[in-house]
Amino acid sequence: MAYINADTIRITTPLTRDVALSLKAGDNVLITGKILTARDAAHKRFIELLEKGEPLPIDLHGQIIYYAGPTPTPPGRASGSFGPTTSYRMDKYTPQLLERGLLGMIGKGARSTDVIEAMKQHGAVYFAATGGAAALIARSIVHSEIVCYDDLGAEAVRLLTVVDFPAIVAIDSRGVNLYEIGCNTYKFNREKNEG
């Protein structure tokens, strides 16, 4: 069961542009519905297909991609631990996927200027999931199935059914960026305390 306070926003998938645009950096969200998983190897294959003019094996419109891969599934569970990977590894691929309807991404760590500009252009949002909490995150996963690239093993593209998947809006569709805000606040407080 996820911790819920008065400021928690519940969202369902598929994500709509109106919902993506309404979210603000710092919002706590609980996501329910279906989300995709994909990491570096799958993203590389997506772009190779697009460069050949071929269709993607999945429809990205309104989708959220979780940058993650699972550990082996224990008996009686829908998934093993399923923590986020570092998002910047997908940055060179992300603008092209946003052009094709992707509206949300979940990972950890900052994003490049190019990705943030593409998010602003397409009204997309970037969520942060807590690194180191993979076993807790897995509790929100009620079903997991491979939808393509099963040869990639743990990096295969999966479709997850989630209930109350916890995340924070790290960068919103206007480009407001919690990573920058946090660094600037730290710097300001440090300089104030030193001065």
Do 168 and 28 meet the contact criterion of CB atoms below 8 Å apart?
yes
One DSSP character per residue, 37-101 reads: E--HHHHHHHHHHHHTTPPPSS--TT-EEE-B-PPPPPTT-S-S--PBPBGGGGTTTHHHHHHTT
Torsion (CA) 90, 169, 60, 119 in degrees, nearest 10: -70
Residue 69 and residue 46: Cα distance in Å, rounded?
Answer: 17
Provide the pairing of β-strand 64-66 with 28-37: parallel
Its pTM surpasses 0.85: yes
Residue 38 and residue 158: Cα distance in Å, rounded?
Answer: 7
Average pLDDT, the chain: 89
20 lies in which domain range? Answer: 9-194
Position 186 pLDDT exceeds 50 = no
Position 189 pLDDT exceeds 60 = no
- Residue 41: both structure tokens together: 């190897």
Give the domain CATH number at 189.
3.20.130.10
| Rg, C-alpha atoms of the chain | 17
The model's pLDDT over 67-111, given as tens digits with 9 standing for 90+, comes to 998 888 888 888 878 889 999 999 999 999 999 999 999 999 999
Give residue 49's identity as a one-letter amino acid code.
L
**Residue 61 domain-assigned (yes or no):** yes
Q: Which residues are catalytic?
A: 43
**Residue 1 domain-assigned (yes or no):** no
For the chain, what is the domain count?
1
**Residue 176 domain-assigned (yes or no):** yes
pLDDT of residue 47: 98
- Residue 136: both structure tokens together: 């807790």
Nearest-CA neighbor of 62 among 98, 11, 103, 121?
A: 103
**Residue 4 domain-assigned (yes or no):** no
Q: Tell me which residue has tokens 């928690």.
A: 8
**Residue 114 domain-assigned (yes or no):** yes
The confidence band for 3, taking pLDDT boundaries of 50, 70 and 90, is: very low
Residue 17 and residue 172: Cα distance in Å, rounded?
Answer: 12
Who wins on pLDDT, 178 or 131? 178
**Residue 3 domain-assigned (yes or no):** no
Nearest-CA neighbor of 122 among 170, 174, 66, 168?
A: 174
**Residue 170 domain-assigned (yes or no):** yes
